[in-house]
Amino acid sequence: MPETGYFAVFLIGLLGGTHCVGMCGGIVSALTVQLPGQQRSDWPLHLAYNVGRISSYTLAGAAMGAIGTVGLLFNNILPIQLVLYVAANLMLVALGLYLTGFTRALSGVERLGHKLWARIQPLTRRFLPARSVGQAFPLGLLWGFLPCGLVYSVLATALVTGSAERGAGLMLAFGLGTLPNLLLAGMLLKRLRDVVRNRAVRTGSGLVVLAFGVYGLVTTPTLGSNLWNGVVCHF
């Protein structure tokens, strides 16, 4: 059975999928572009693209988890782990409010990654339109660096894991949570977009993600109690 923390992050990815479809809908539609008279199954392309995207998330999670180990060095000087834990849950609260449409504050966080994305985006053009798995996979790897408040919120949590292995596992669980929405978006793009743009769907998803963040803040003295079991490193 998966530990509760990874399952919680999986749910965040699943519920935040309404945001994912809006962010990645354009690139997903590009995977379905066909040459005149061409017939093929799109599933291998969509799967390869998403494997690449999730691989980028996993590598980023490993990097953030490794950075988070610095907290171990200052354990007797400053409760860095506690500060990072609060910051991570504040990001989830902001994300929940962002998904509900209550505030656009998290868009400012997304702008922080625009400089990096400006350098990466031109590289994606050589793989578009993706007509083979060999094009779709590297396209997904690159697209994993798209500035996204949802990804940044979970990456903030990866800092608290205290290890590259747990950080990678956290982002892998999150990426797998986003997978159903984006696979469906690839095959039923217009219909699914209509669903995720529904106010009630976005509000409901946002409130659940918000609840994860609030719960984390309330249980800060115990670093999340059982909810984040298996993710948060307890010194």
b/e code 46-79 from CB counts within 10 Å (16+ = b): bbbbbbbbbbbbbbbbbbbbbebeebeeeeeeee
Q: What is the pTM of this model?
A: 0.78
* 10-residue averages of pLDDT along the chain (235 residues): 71 74 61 50 83 95 87 55 77 78 68 84 85 89 87 85 89 90 65 60 76 80 66 61
Residue pair 48/136 in contact (Cβ under 8 Å)? The answer is yes
